[in-house]
Amino acid sequence: MKKRMFSCGLEASLSVIGGKWKILIIWQLASRPRRFGELRRFVDGVTEKMLIQGLKELEKDGLVSRKDFREIPPRVEYSLSKRGVELANVLRPLCEWGAENFREQIAPPPLESYASPQKLVT
């Protein structure tokens, strides 16, 4: 299978995080690993179908890791990979810009949903 070629890095980045939900999923995972139900609660408005699809695509693209604990009842946890943490760190200034420029239009989220991306250890 031939790899897709992009005209620039921005196009490549947008191909991975395109759509409404993927960035919000990444942002919620930036603070800590989360289970599926937590993500469904914190990514406001996402349907179960779109959350499943987004997580699968992010995992395929190497941004999200999925850990299956092989328990009954099933327990699965999602976290950011090293590559996902790098992306979350890039998204922080975009979030700050949005908060500064649209302050009056942003509802305060529950305290637990505030994401503080992990810093990479080099």
Whether the predicted pLDDT of 105 surpasses 90:
no
3-class SS of residue 64: strand
CATH 1.10.10.10 fits 14-101, yes or no: yes
Whether the ω angle into residue 73 lies within 30 degrees of 0, i.e. cis, is yes
Task: Indicate yes or no: pTM above 0.85.
Answer: no
For residue 98, the Cα-to-chain-centroid distance in whole angstroms is 17
3-class SS of residue 66: strand
Each residue's pLDDT tens digit, 27-40: 999 999 999 999 99
Residue 122, pLDDT score: 41
Each residue's pLDDT tens digit, 40-89: 999 999 999 999 999 999 999 999 999 999 988 889 999 999 999 999 99
Each residue's pLDDT tens digit, 10-22: 898 888 888 889 9
Q: What burial letters (b/e) apply to 43-79, b meaning 16+ CB within 10 Å?
A: beebeeebbeebbebbeebebbbeeeeeeeeeeebbb
